[in-house]
Amino acid sequence: MRFTQLFIAATTVVLALSVPTKNEKRGHKLRFFGVNESGAEFGNQNLPGVYGHDYTWYNLSTIPTFINKGMNIFRLNLQMERLVPNSLYGPLDPYYSGNLTEQVNYITSLGAFAMICPHNYGRYYNNIINDTAGFEAFWATVAKPFKNNALVMFDTNNEYHDMPQSLVVDLNQAAINGIRGIGANSQYITPEGNSYTGAWTWVSSGNGATMGALKDPQNKLIYQMHQYLDSDGSGTSTTCVNSTIFENRLVAATQWLQQNNKLGIIGEFAGGDNATCLAALEGGLKYLGNNDNVWTGAMWWSAGPWWGDYIFTMEPPSGIAYTDILPKLLPDD
């Protein structure tokens, strides 16, 4: 989701893992099914900001609740400048990284996957990242503490946009090189594309023509795409285009994955609490499951303790997506 919209809304082991078993019974048969945790990237106009005032971390007591509902992956959104402040070549901030480590260790101790996601849109201190060597160094620093934890995933950056296509490819490759270069070889890496990494524009935006060139010596790339169901695909409305729009917007990306022998994951999706959106959500998840030779999973946007009455909040116990939408997306017992 685009950060300006996100901020406004906020302020008003292995694939064969047996836990949780409910996920294996799910009608859409996804290997990964989970939720974004968002809040540690809030207040990005005030850096580094104050914990508890400008940004927050996530309520660990909700993680077992989600797992008991059948989720097994959590995308932990964070801010690069707080994790590695001042310079891409710098060290980890001990306090912010300590909070991240606590979250990752708890999630993975329960047998679920923790995806580390810098929610920066390919920017660092509001400037497009042009220093690929610096980006490689950043990722080497971030990945090193987790290199022996196979339940960690690395998301290179959230929603690159309005950047030269070649730069987006080069930054993704730099991230891969940095992660693998420090010996983190067992983890999945999820490259993201340009144009907000939309599934519906993956081919038309130029991602399809360029992103397949990425190389990983461990062959553990899962291409991350995002897909919302409103008219402009921004995820800012509870009105879905029609009851099949989720599936429709996945078709071209599915064909690209199949033709290029790649794997994909939907890193963000959401829709409103109404009949049209619910039908679209169910249909899209079923489509992903029916194409599980290339699609590995999907993560809802979003949970987090500061979302309040946000239209898609999945935060237990009273978030509208948690109370009204999630039960309808789970299979009958």
- 315 assigned to active site: no
| 34, 301 contact by CB (below 8 A) | no
| 5, 234 contact by CB (below 8 A) | yes
Instruction: Give the strand pairing for 127-128 and 223-228.
Output: unpaired
User: How many residues are present in the chain?
Assistant: 333
159, 192, 282, 315: the catalytic one is 159
Residues 6+ apart with CB under 8 A from 168: 122, 160, 193, 194, 207, 210, 211
Q: Residue 168 and residue 191: Cα distance in Å, rounded?
A: 10
- 102 assigned to active site: no
37, 41, 192, 268: the catalytic one is 268
Residues 6+ apart with CB under 8 A from 207: 165, 168, 193, 194, 195, 197, 201
Instruction: Give the strand pairing for 73-78 and 32-37.
Output: parallel
Q: Which residues are catalytic?
A: 159, 268
